[in-house]
Every structure is written in structure tokens, then in C-alpha cells.
Amino acid sequence: MEFDRTGFILYVINYQACVDFYKNMLELKVMFSTENLTCFKFGESYLMVELDDENPNETNSIRTKTCLRMNVKNVKALADKLIQQQIKVNYKEHAWGIIAKFYDPDGNLLAFKDSEKFEKQIIKSKN
């Protein structure tokens, strides 16, 4: 598989404190942000700090806290390829982009994201 970009998503409860930490303490450059997520330049990759609004009341040991993200040209084709290999994929199309989430054999969350809308978010934030 070929990826256009790769990144990490860090799901957090204390969103603003985490954003402040990565921005001010680690001095990471903001690529773009929305109300509930901030995307930082992270070497040749990116680190997305995102409010965990799906599991905010679960204990730390149960919550999914990270996601390995791979930006690709055709999310649907790669999701279908995984499904053909009997891998369960959660494929969704949103206004902000297409995403397909799945787990590795050890239970780590991974996701494909459409490159086009991700790059548009970066360009939009620069204007």
C-alpha cells in the first residue's frame, strides 16, 4: 500500500490542556484546527489531538487513546481490500472526509483517511 501522509491521532479528555501542551511546551507547529481537534506537524508526519467525545466517561484502561492514521487517495478501495481479507472495517463518509477504521490483531486502532479533504484543511487554514 502507498500512503500520501501518515499520522497519529491522540484522543484526549482534557482537550485544551493537551493542545496547549503540544503547542506551547513542545512547540509543535499547528497545521490546522477545528473546534474539537488540532493537527500539529510532527516530523514528517502529523499528530492530531482530538477531543474524545465518544468515550469520555470510560476509564483510562478501557478507552482507545491513539489511532495510527494513513492518508490515502481511495479509502473505499483499501477498505474493501481489508474486508475481502475478513477484517472488520468501520467505513464512514462525513462532510469533512472519508474514514475507514479497523484494528490490528493486537487491538490497536488504525484508520485510512482520504488525502484530498485532509490537504484542503491544511490549505484552508493558511488562508
Stated pTM of the model: 0.76
Kindly list the structural domains of the chain, giving each domain's residue range(s) and its CATH number in brackets, ordered by start. 5-126 (3.10.180.10)
Quote the radius of gyration of the chain (alpha carbons, Å).
15
Measured in whole angstroms, the distance separating CA 84 from the mean position of its chain's CA atoms is: 24
What distances in angstroms separate CA 59 from CA 26, 48, 62, 65, 100, one per listed residue? 27, 21, 6, 11, 25
Report the share of the chain in percent with pLDDT over 90. Answer: 65
pLDDT bin (cut points 50, 70, 90) of residue 56 is low
pLDDT at 32: 95
pLDDT at 53: 79
> For residues 65 and 80, is the Cβ–Cβ distance under 8 A?
no
> For residues 73 and 33, is the Cβ–Cβ distance under 8 A?
no
Residue 50 has pLDDT above 70, yes or no: yes
What distances in angstroms separate CA 54 from CA 13, 20, 38, 77, one per listed residue? 10, 22, 17, 27
Task: Find all residues with CB under 8 Å of 68, minimum gap 6, and list them.
Answer: 6, 8, 108, 109, 110, 111
Residue 93 has pLDDT above 90, yes or no: yes
